[in-house]
Amino acid sequence: MSLQSEIGTFVAAVLNYFDTAVQQPAVVGTPYLALGKAPEVFDYTGMIRISGKRKGVVYFTAPKGMLSVMLMRMQETDMSDANLRDLVGEVANTLSGNARKDFGRNFIISTPSVVAGSSTTIGYSPDTRPIVVPIDWRAYHANLVVCLN
Amino acid sequence: MKRRRHDFDLAQLLPVVVATTFAAVLTLLLTLGIQRASQLQSASSALQLASELRSLPQYFGTELTLVQRGLESRTFIGEPLADIAAAREGFDKALERIDTDLIGAGLGGTVEIQRVRGALDAAWARFSPLLVAVDSHKGTPYSDTLSGSRLNSTGRALKSDVDAALAAQDESMRDVGGALKDLATGLQDAVGDRGGSLRSFLMIGAAVSGLLLALMLYFALRSRRAADDARRAERQVADILGTVREGLFLLDRNLSLGHVYSASLTRILHTEQVRDTSFEDLLRPLVPAKTLATAMKFVNLLWKEKVHEDLIDTVNPLNQIEVQFAKSGGGTDSRHLSFAFKRVKNAGGQGEHLLGIVTDVTDRVQISRELEQSKAENQAQLDLVMQLLQVPGAQLQSFVRDSDMALRKCNAILKQPGREESELRSKLNGVFREVHTIKGEAGAMALTAIASRVHQLEESLVALRDRARIDGNDFIPIVVKLDELMSYLGGVGQFADRLSEVQPKGDTMKSVVPPLLANQMLAADTPSLEQVLAKVVKETASAHGKRVALQCRGLEAIPAPYRKAARDITIHMARNAVVHGIETPDNRASASKSETAAVRVSFDDAGAEGYVLTVEDDGQGLPYERILDAALRKGLVSPADAARMERPAVYGLIFRAGFSTAETVTEHAGRGVGLDAVSQTVRDLGGSIGIATSDGKFTRFRMKLPQAVSQAGAAHVA
């Protein structure tokens, strides 16, 4: 499976989450490489780590406002930190599920984890250029970052 | 195989044959038994009648005596007479019934019985008329007188008949009794005989029934064993079909799939609708219509006995096909499937089915491709090293630096906001220009390995540009290839750094590269623009079968801030001139022109008006109609606009992104990027482009550049 297909799987997972869980489609911007500095991290980030045929990290990072509106769309009234963490965790879980289904046994995918705070540093191999896929939803902007060698 | 099949049929039929035979025998025995029973019944009836008749002679004697004494005593004799008549008629009827029973008992034709029966008839025939004479008298036998009753004539006649009957009675009755006794004896024998036969039949029938029961039990046990074996075999087949990784199925002559297929088939084909589905319907969503038609022809050919299936397998269109399956979460999954077919023949050697075997060979194909790619990359790396060794280190470093900047610019373009279709296409064209420039630079330095690598990215950009609609998702392949290209050029940069370290040290370089190459490297200084253009023109002309002489003037006077831009511009335009402007030698000769064309590149200082960079060729001129046709074909202008356009506006179309009049795409032309990039570069520098052309004579591009180079412009082209 090529890196291109793998990124496609992750993008499809995120878009599908917006279509089905949030019931309002998101739009993918033009992907680009994070050169020179680490990609921007928003308030909440759900990530999975991958080893095996490829190594690296894939994460969905979104601002608090966006996640709060997503929760509202999902008929949730609890906008607590825990619930926002659960939401990005759920997106990361979708990334993990799709990856497990599509990539096969050559990939080992970690349990999804969640970090909060825009000053968080997410570690990745310095030999790798992260590919940032902008995810636009309503007036909000999130990023899907794929950093695999 | 044939013998085994035959045995199988016999084994199946044997219980039926045995059961039928035994049933026929039993039926026969029962029929015979019934017949014997019927005969026995008739014989018994006849015997009973014969036995009953044996008492009648004595009865007749008694009744006759009663009549005689009645006549003598002049008493009433009507009753004994009636009894005689009734007994006689009863005897006659009994004889008739005996005859019927004898026929029923199958004794009608028996000689002994017939003889006895004849004797009885004869004896009865002698006595019966005497009885008839007696019992047929009517009227009163007495006449009353004064002296009492006397026999009248009737009485006397009756008495005479009675006396006669009594006189004959002893002898006749002895004959009748004897005959009846013989008949009874004969009938007793017959009853015994029929009873014995019936017993025999019943015993044989019982024995046959017992044997049949035993055989049926045997066959039932055998059938159960066979059924157990069949169930076991069925389970084993199910285990095999459930475990095997290949998709196995059978096709009948209608090319429909049977009920039995391996579990993997539905997994490989991503469908549960397999049973009773036609093979064509199964393939339709997987392959293009043309491949489907060819595949069906191929499968139909396999039914022809004369066709050698191993030989025809070499043209199997389904030997390896790439198919797309929709993924549940959206998107598609590309898989490679391999179909193979084998004839399945019956015992008579006739083709009954085709065994289809479908395998998911995606992993194998990928490994094979990776291997091929690895080989190609190794070769490309070797070629690259050889090419890099021929380029001066400083020049190579400059190229790598410029390329890296161009790729970063591509990335910056992608990073810009903008999700609308027009914005995405603008980004696409921006990336296109940068990439094309890198390719042009690489080509000019004869770094074909790098040019080829950049060409791959260009291919992806072309594919995207030709789509009717594009979205951000479509840029994923672009950014992946951009990443790969950056890594690739990073490696080239590292090589260039090392090369620049060793290049001044001739002895050291000689130790790491072949002497001839080392000498070339030492001799080579950074080539001038004129040298680069000469190389570009020569290679492009050679590739297109043209003869071109390059004439350059004033290029060494190009100010430093303009050198990079002038280099990019002139490379593009000189290559364009050779590909599009210059005719082939034959065409030039037929147009009374020199077979060797001229391309002139000049740079002039126009004082306060700035600089003028000119690229000119003495070719066929700009083809007005072809430009317009190409613009219409690519949708750059509407037909209505095209009809209103003046010639200068039409010529201006050649600077539009995506424009090209080339029919085919080559490394030198056809992308519709070169002049777009030139135009953009000139605009970025604050300059302008003018075109002068004459059909069949020349085309001249004059690029006016401002005298003072702005910081922004310099930064853009640096």
pLDDT at B9: 63
Query: Considering CB atoms only, which of B411, B419, B472 is closest to A33?
Result: B411
pLDDT at B500: 72
Q: Do B331 and A9 touch (CB under 8 A)?
A: yes
Interface contact A35, partner B, CB < 8 A: yes
Instruction: Pick the closest to residue B499 from B407, B400, B629, B566 (CA basis).
Output: B400
- Give the other-Cβ count within 10 Å of B180's Cβ: 27
Are B572 and B440 a contacting pair, CB within 8 Å?
yes
Beta carbons within 8 Å of B456's beta carbon, 6+ residues apart: B481
Give every strand in the sheet of B257-261, ordered side by side: B257-261, B247-251, B351-360, B332-345, B321-326
Give every strand in the sheet of B698-705, ordered side by side: B548-553, B597-605, B611-617, B698-705, B688-694
pLDDT at B326: 79
Distance CA B519, CA B510 (A): 8
Chain A and chain B share a number of CB contacts under 8 A equal to: 75
Q: What is the mean pLDDT of residues A86-97?
A: 92
Q: What is the mean pLDDT of chain A?
A: 90
Distance CA B499, CA B521 (A): 10
Distance CA B136, CA B92 (A): 16
Among B369, B408, B480, most A C-beta atoms within 10 A, so best to mutate, is B480
How far is the CA of A71 from the CAs of A24, A27, A84, B241, in angstroms? 12, 18, 8, 48
Distance CA B401, CA B497 (A): 11
pLDDT at B674: 64
Using the Cα atoms of residue B150, residue B152, residue B154 and residue B157 in order, give the sign of their dihedral.
Answer: positive
Are B356 and B309 a contacting pair, CB within 8 Å?
no
Are B601 and B574 a contacting pair, CB within 8 Å?
yes
Interface contact A34, partner B, CB < 8 A: no
Query: Considering CB atoms only, which of B329, B333, B472 is closest to A30?
Result: B472
CATH says B528-718 is which class? alpha beta
Owning domain of residue A67: 3-148
How many domains does one find in chain A? Answer: 1
pLDDT at B666: 52
Distance CA B657, CA B674 (A): 9
pLDDT at B663: 52
3-state SS class at B679? helix
Distance CA B490, CA B487 (A): 5
With tokens 């479509």, the residue in question is B474
Query: Considering CB atoms only, which of A28, A131, A136 is closest to B473?
Result: A28
Are A98 and A37 a contacting pair, CB within 8 Å?
no
Are B323 and B286 a contacting pair, CB within 8 Å?
yes
Comparing alpha-carbon positions, the chain B residue that sits nearest to A36 is B408
Count of alpha carbons within 13 angstroms of residue A35, beta-carbon side: 18
B427 neighbourhood in chain A, CB within 8 Å: 30
User: Helix axis angle, B362-389 relative to B476-502, nearest 10°?
Assistant: 30
What's the ipTM? 0.95
pLDDT at B2: 44
Looking at domain B247-362, does it have CATH number 3.30.450.20? Answer: yes
Q: Do A35 and B408 touch (CB under 8 A)?
A: yes
Q: Do B476 and A33 touch (CB under 8 A)?
A: no
Task: Kindly report the CATH number that applies to the domain delimited by B384-526.
Answer: 1.20.120.160
Q: What is the CA radius of gyration of chain A?
A: 14
Give the single-character DSSP code of B592. T
How far is the CA of B40 from the CAs of B103, B188, B664, in angstroms? 11, 10, 112
Interface contact A133, partner B, CB < 8 A: yes
How far is the CA of B491 from the CAs of B84, B404, B450, B488, in angstroms? 149, 11, 11, 5
Q: Do B414 and A4 touch (CB under 8 A)?
A: no
Q: Do B477 and A27 touch (CB under 8 A)?
A: no
Query: Considering CB atoms only, which of A4, A28, A35 is closest to B411?
Result: A35
Beta carbons within 8 Å of B127's beta carbon, 6+ residues apart: B60, B165, B168, B169, B172, B173, B175, B176
Instruction: Pick the closest to residue A102 from B332, B58, B465, B73 (CA basis).
Output: B332
Beta carbons within 8 Å of B505's beta carbon, 6+ residues apart: none
- The distance from CA B244 to its chain's CA centroid, rounded to whole angstroms, is 18
Q: What is the CA radius of gyration of chain B?
A: 63
Are B604 and B557 a contacting pair, CB within 8 Å?
no
Distance CA B713, CA B705 (A): 11
Query: Considering CB atoms only, which of B333, B408, B424 is closest to A30?
Result: B424
Token pair, residue B543, equals 């590739």
- The residues pairing with B321 across neighbouring beta strands, listed in sequence order, are B337
Token pair, residue A74, equals 């999902």
How far is the CA of B651 from the CAs of A19, B647, B680, B700, in angstroms? 48, 6, 16, 12
A18-56 tens-digit pLDDT: 999 999 999 999 999 999 888 999 999 999 999 888 889
pLDDT at A113: 92
CA of B581 vs chain A CAs: smallest distance (Å): 37
Residues of chain B with pLDDT under 70: 1-11, 328-331, 502-526, 658, 660-674, 708-718
pLDDT at A140: 94
With tokens 């790439």, the residue in question is B322
Token pair, residue B624, equals 């007005």
Instruction: Pick the closest to residue B629 from B612, B609, B645 (CA basis).
Output: B645
